[in-house]
Structure 1
């Protein structure tokens, strides 16, 4: 992994992930794959246009399904939000990713449910942030299926910029990310 994607973790034994672009970082467990700094992950409109993209990305359970080379059980990373209000960034960010994931290849959409934004603490309890979630219930079979996909966004102000973190994980499968681990990742999001 290039040095520019690395930062000291705040949780011993985990990996610290740096986004030089956002001047922010977060930690993930040792078994996550930290993508190279130039790698972006997200969703396209099936015509090749990216509609929801994150950087400073990590992958949870790469190649989760042996028959699908590009399969995974989740991703996490940062989304550029500029000076957008944190609550608006959290709500719009999670909706953008969930709606993009809900688009089926035949241009129909899987159902998306959302929760109201709520406060959360990041930077190990020192910064107030806003979190929002959305759940997609896939309606079309895939090579690496799951009953639902949970999207979580976290946003907070740092100076004049809003830092927006987003993660999504398959739910209802044996290798689902345990919620306490997801919550712990969120506590490590921090400006650098």
Structure 2
């Protein structure tokens, strides 16, 4: 997993035309290791490393577009402290005193950049709104500085369940790497033609990036997105992806699943909320809980991202 500001476009796992229905994920290009995705974390406003397993490239500058399809992208500076300050100050990094959870006892997760909110159970860890999480391309040789930041997929303002659910040193470099059980967050979907297009172009990348790469054959995903309406009345499209018998090896290797809910925010921009997690493990998050979390996704004020 890669957490921080991406300098380059994410890999497109579908066809060369990102607006076509996917024919199945394609492995990202590049040479190198075949190692399990590394986990690092950085808040763009403070440039402070968060302890989630300090390995892999760490970048602060570059692209901030969050384009869903890896198409044309803007090159913006990292999110500034003043942008993060748009959220009210409080002990909760999201300033959740301004938004009550729709599920009593749960926590509110707010992404001011995209103008969205959702709720998670109380045992989840709500991260800062300017944090990005995602997965590196494990086939890229990161010994070449020019390759740093080759990403499969990212999302922002995440919430994580059991951040260090599994810890290992699979590459035997002497540094322990943490693997989260589940994570959820939001990203832009600029370039999408529809909510269905946005959901389908992203969902299998979470499974590929976190659980199967460089293999694509073990991923099963929806070919058509389904209409969905959250409890708030927010309408959009959802799509699922899962892996079966991933060839990944290592103490923390497992199959995975992901769901993406794509919709339009109050500014009319396409946005995608995604959740991914390990499957076939003792602590797997049930689909029923995932759907309960999904049902809380809603709009929150006007987005700061134009």
Q: What TM-score does the superposition give when structure 2 sets the normalisation length?
A: 0.57
CA-to-aligned-CA distance 1:134-163 (integer Å, 9 cap, x gap): 1123212133132x2011000112342122
Say yes or no: does 1:130 pair with 2:237. yes
Q: Give 2:107's match in structure 1, choosing from 3, 12, 15.
A: 15
Say yes or no: does 1:92 pair with 2:201. yes
What runs of 5+ residues in structure 1 fail to find an aligned partner? none
| 1:91 shift after superposition | 0.5
Say yes or no: does 1:33 pair with 2:142. no
CA-to-aligned-CA distance 1:150-184 (integer Å, 9 cap, x gap): 11000112342122101101111111112211011
Taking a change above 3 Å as real, the CA distance of residues 86 and 28 of structure 1, as seen in their structure-2 partners, is same
Q: Give 1:156's match in structure 2, choosing from 263, 268, 274.
A: 263
| 1:35 shift after superposition | 1.4
What is the DSSP-based 3-state SS (H/G/I as helix, E as strand, rest coil) of the residue aligned with 1:98? helix
Q: Give 2:218's match in structure 1, choosing from 76, 97, 111.
A: 111
The structure whose Rg is larger is 2
| 1:100 shift after superposition | 2.9
| 1:66 shift after superposition | 4.6
- Give 2:166's aligned residue: 65
What is the DSSP-based 3-state SS (H/G/I as helix, E as strand, rest coil) of the residue aligned with 1:100? helix
What runs of 5+ residues in structure 2 fail to find an aligned partner? 1-90, 141-147, 169-175, 301-306
Task: Tell me the number of residue pairs that the alignment of Structure 1 and Structure 2 aligns.
Answer: 187
What is the DSSP-based 3-state SS (H/G/I as helix, E as strand, rest coil) of the residue aligned with 2:154? strand
CA RMSD of aligned residues (A): 2.0
| 1:8 shift after superposition | 2.3
- Give 2:155's aligned residue: 54
Q: 1:3, 1:170 → 2: CA distance?
A: 26
Q: What TM-score does the superposition give when structure 1 sets the normalisation length?
A: 0.88
CA-to-aligned-CA distance 1:73-116 (integer Å, 9 cap, x gap): 11100011136211100110113333333323xxx545211123
Say yes or no: does 1:170 pair with 2:278. yes
Asked if the contact 1:5–1:56 (Cα under 8 Å) also holds between the matched residues in 2, the reply is: no
CA-to-aligned-CA distance 1:111-140 (integer Å, 9 cap, x gap): 211123112221x15122210011123212
